[in-house]
């Protein structure tokens, strides 16, 4: 364990100074770590990141979230609210390793930031609050990491807080996340007596005095902890033996296992996602950060440790790109930011090859050539210019006008397409109107920039009401967007009340037929479509099946029919809400040799879809949120009563000491104003978190109410 304050990297010249000695050249790929901090809100991700930047010498003063001085929370609203809103990237250095870090938000409204970060990173550190344990958003980010097969380690933070419980948190990780925890540390003390850690791998104890400038001091393992330490170390070896053949062989032979062998085995099972190492500490008190840095370099993967990135070439054949500077350049754009000083920044991760500033690249997703402008290494909102980005790098660039989130960039002579990034659909909408003509022009430009930045933020114009409707992931998400419009982009606007993004679907199979016939002078328009509509699985969207046999409808018109169906589903049928989860089978139709056109079949497809939905007993779907409320036991009754009045379904209640945790499902429409209501009912002592769970059929007694609201807005 060493102090890395002497390790400062000159990003432009690519020289590393370590303890007075300068080493030139790029970092070996195996010494690069691309990782994110992910967690539930208030678990302490940003505080951990700030300590890591300090101990690695990246910053010279510890930033504090509660003081608004955190380097990674650079937006004004982040400083005001004390939460992370946008993922911020930085680079630091520890023990001859380059660590590219992304600090992600913990609030569910900004889950897209976690999604795109995990898509381009190799590893993650999941931070848990030692008192709260596994919380609602902890489960969400864990599932996201599972989806991308991201190896991770866990850091149980806030061990110095009253009520901290290391073993209970480990049990929750196992039970609620379905993980296989592998404790490699034990806390030295607990709550107010928390001093440091017991390293089970090296069988040593380290004490921290809490001073940012102090080094950890090795101390003797207390007599009272030796039996427990011995049991946990034996458990560590046995758990490794279950997953790793080399440790199993040594264990069965009765041979003593060295520290290096243990570390190598922990690394192997971590990279294979078989086990998750567990560490602990208190970031706010500067305890446990250096061992966490050691674990990041020891156990998280380098780019070559990950499977070759898979892509498809222009012929549709799958190709694999090795993590190598010598391979063709391949990168994925994962974030677009409008910087008020330098303009439009595109963040990308280089999976193979290298690219220089000024080089021409090919955007395979858009089918356009682009020229890389300046290359920038980002440190939150500060920029350091570099001349080249190589394999494993996470950088930003200027000059890419037609590149958006999820686009593939590659060498023009080796075009390939990487898998893009999927984002959840918005669940909440508000209407927004500019105050003046000048504001209208500004608002259009600002909204375009914001939709480029945030794939979960949608903008639509309602021809019926003449309103611009913006949609997002929740109240806080839209509140942040509106604040940015008013302050950052200086748009004068009037904002309406939040509206739930209801959806519509069908409940029975039907057949529908539509003809689009127009006869004017010269050629007319003719399209005839026969559809079979069936309910599809929730969340599946549109499943279009072409069952045309023979020449009933020429092949060139089939895509137009599908486009017409999609357009009709997007605009809605009975209440202007999008239609979802339908299987549409095209089984018959007819055409005219002269009058048929793509436009005619597009219109016929749209008409058939609307006719069919109207006959198929359509129902509204409302978003249901998963709610977790932590309240003092004395307010439990009032909290449950309030939830019952909001149509909430309480699934379970857990009690830990004086605090109770309520797990419930609540309709989004009933959750507006819940924060204020909960604070009022519990004297500000309760907390809650919500995340989208599923879409569910709206109760029959509320259907007419929703329809009336739509008609009222349409006539306004």
Q: What percentage of residues in the chain have a pLDDT greater than 70?
A: 89
Residue 464: is its pLDDT beyond 60? no
* Closest by CA position to 134, among listed 85, 81, 178: 178
Q: Is 145 exposed, middle or buried (0-12, 13-18, 19+ CB in 10 A)?
A: buried
The mean pLDDT of 188-194, rounded to a whole number, is: 92
Beta carbons of 53 and 142 less than 8 angstroms apart: no
Phi, psi of 410 (to 5 degrees): -150, 175
- Would the pTM of this model clear 0.85, i.e. be above it? no
pLDDT at 332: 92
Cα distances (Å, whole numbers) of residue 61 to 52, 82, 504: 11, 18, 54
Report which of residues 500 and 165 the model is more confident about.
Answer: 165
Residue 116: is its pLDDT beyond 90? no
The mean pLDDT of 37-49, rounded to a whole number, is: 85
Q: Give 307's contacts (C-beta < 8 A, 6+ positions apart).
A: none
User: Can you read off the two tokens belonging to residue 653?
Assistant: 């209640």
pLDDT at 82: 56
Distance (Å, whole) CA 142 – CA 38: 8
Distance (Å, whole) CA 347 – CA 262: 37
Report helix angle 289-299 to 45-55, nearest 10.
90
pLDDT at 9: 34
Beta carbons of 472 and 481 less than 8 angstroms apart: yes
Mean pLDDT of the chain: 85
The mean pLDDT of 294-309, rounded to a whole number, is: 92
Helix extents (H) in 485-619: 558-571, 598-615
Distance (Å, whole) CA 609 – CA 511: 10
Q: Give 715's contacts (C-beta < 8 A, 6+ positions apart).
A: none
Beta carbons of 160 and 129 less than 8 angstroms apart: no
pLDDT at 160: 94
Side-chain-side CA neighbours of residue 700 (13 Å): 1
User: Can you read off the two tokens belonging to residue 213?
Assistant: 């400038």
Beta carbons of 322 and 306 less than 8 angstroms apart: no
The mean pLDDT of 624-632, rounded to a whole number, is: 87
**Residue 515: strand, helix, or coil:** strand
Distance (Å, whole) CA 418 – CA 538: 27
Instruction: Average the pLDDT over each of 285-294, 348-357, 599-608, 669-678 and give the range with the smallest value.
Output: 669-678
Instruction: Average the pLDDT over each of 192-196, 267-271, 293-297, 627-631 and give the range with the smallest value.
Output: 627-631
E strand map for 131-174:
152-157
Residue 708: is its pLDDT beyond 80? no
pLDDT at 465: 57
Cα distances (Å, whole numbers) of residue 123 to 92, 152, 284, 493: 15, 5, 23, 42
């Amino acid at each position: 364990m060493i102090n890395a304050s002497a390790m400062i990297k000159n990003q432009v010249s690519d020289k590393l100074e370590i303890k007075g000695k300068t080493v030139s050249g790029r970092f070996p790929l195996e010494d690069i770590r691309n990782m994110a901090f992910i967690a539930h809100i208030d678990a302490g991700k940003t505080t951990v990141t700030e300590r890591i930047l300090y101990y690695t010498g990246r910053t010279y003063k510890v930033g504090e979230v509660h003081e608004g001085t955190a380097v990674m929370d650079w937006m004004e609203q982040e400083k005001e609210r004390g939460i992370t809103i946008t993922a911020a990237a930085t680079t630091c250095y520890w023990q001859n390793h380059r660590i590219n870090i992304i600090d992600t938000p913990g609030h569910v409204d900004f889950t897209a930031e976690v999604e795109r970060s995990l898509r381009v990173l190799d590893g993650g550190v999941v931070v848990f609050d030692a008192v709260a344990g596994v919380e609602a958003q902890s489960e969400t980010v864990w599932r996201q990491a599972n989806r991308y097969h991201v190896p991770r380690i866990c850091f149980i933070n806030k061990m110095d807080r009253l009520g901290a419980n290391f073993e209970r948190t480990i049990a929750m990780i196992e039970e609620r996340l379905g993980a296989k925890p592998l404790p490699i540390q034990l806390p030295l003390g607990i709550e107010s007596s928390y001093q440091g850690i017991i390293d089970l791998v090296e069988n040593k104890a380290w004490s921290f005095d809490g001073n940012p400038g102090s080094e950890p001091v090795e101390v003797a393992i207390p007599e009272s902890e030796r039996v427990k330490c011995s049991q946990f170390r034996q458990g560590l070896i046995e758990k490794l033996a279950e997953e790793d053949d080399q440790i199993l062989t040594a264990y069965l032979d009765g041979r003593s296992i060295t520290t290096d062998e243990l570390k190598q085995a922990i690394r192997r099972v971590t990279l294979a996602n078989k086990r998750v190492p567990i560490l602990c500490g208190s970031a706010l008190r500067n305890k446990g950060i250096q061992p966490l840095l050691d674990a990041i370099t020891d156990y998280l993967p380098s780019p070559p440790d990950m499977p070759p990135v898979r892509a498809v070439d222009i012929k549709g054949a799958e190709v694999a790109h090795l993590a190598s500077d010598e391979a063709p350049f391949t990168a994925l754009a994962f974030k677009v930011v409008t910087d008020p000083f330098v303009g439009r920044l595109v963040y990308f991760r280089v999976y193979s090859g290298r690219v220089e500033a000024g080089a021409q690249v090919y955007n395979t997703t858009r089918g356009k050539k682009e020229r890389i402008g300046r290359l920038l290494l980002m440190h939150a909102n500060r920029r350091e210019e570099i001349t080249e980005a190589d394999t494993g790098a996470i950088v930003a660039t200027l000059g890419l006008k037609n590149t958006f989130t999820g686009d593939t960039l590659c060498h023009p002579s080796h075009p390939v397409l990487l898998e893009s990034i999927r984002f959840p659909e918005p669940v909440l909408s508000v209407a927004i109107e500019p105050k003046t003509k000048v504001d209208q022009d500004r608002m259009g430009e600002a909204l375009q920039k914001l939709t480029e930045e945030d794939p979960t933020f949608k903008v639509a114009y309602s021809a019926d009401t003449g309103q611009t409707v913006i949609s997002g992931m929740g109240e806080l998400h839209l509140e942040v967007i509106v604040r940015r419009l008013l302050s950052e982009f200086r748009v004068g606007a009037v904002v309406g009340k939040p509206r739930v993004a209801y959806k519509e679907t069908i409940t029975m199979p039907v057949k529908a037929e539509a003809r689009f016939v127009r006869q004017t002078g010269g050629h007319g328009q003719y399209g005839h479509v026969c559809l079979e509509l069936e309910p599809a699985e929730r969340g599946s969207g549109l499943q279009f099946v072409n069952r045309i046999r023979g020449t009933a409808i020429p092949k060139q018109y089939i895509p137009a029919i599908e486009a017409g169906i999609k357009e009709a589903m997007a605009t809605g049928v009975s209440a202007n809400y999008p239609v979802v989860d339908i299987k549409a089978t095209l089984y018959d139709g007819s055409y005219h040799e002269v009058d048929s056109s793509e436009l005619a079949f597009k219109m016929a497809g749209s008409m058939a879809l609307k006719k069919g939905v109207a006959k198929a007993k359509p129902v509204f779907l409302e978003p249901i949120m998963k709610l977790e409320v932590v309240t003092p036991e004395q307010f439990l009754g009032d909290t449950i009563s309030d939830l019952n009045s909001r149509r909430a379904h309480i699934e379970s209640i857990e009690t830990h000491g004086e605090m109770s945790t309520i797990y419930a499902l609540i309709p989004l429409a009933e959750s507006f104003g819940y924060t204020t209501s909960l604070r009022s009912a519990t004297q500000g002592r309760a907390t809650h978190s919500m995340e989208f769970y599923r879409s569910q059929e709206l109760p029959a007694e509320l259907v007419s109410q929703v329809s009336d609201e739509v008609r009222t807005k349409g006539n306004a």
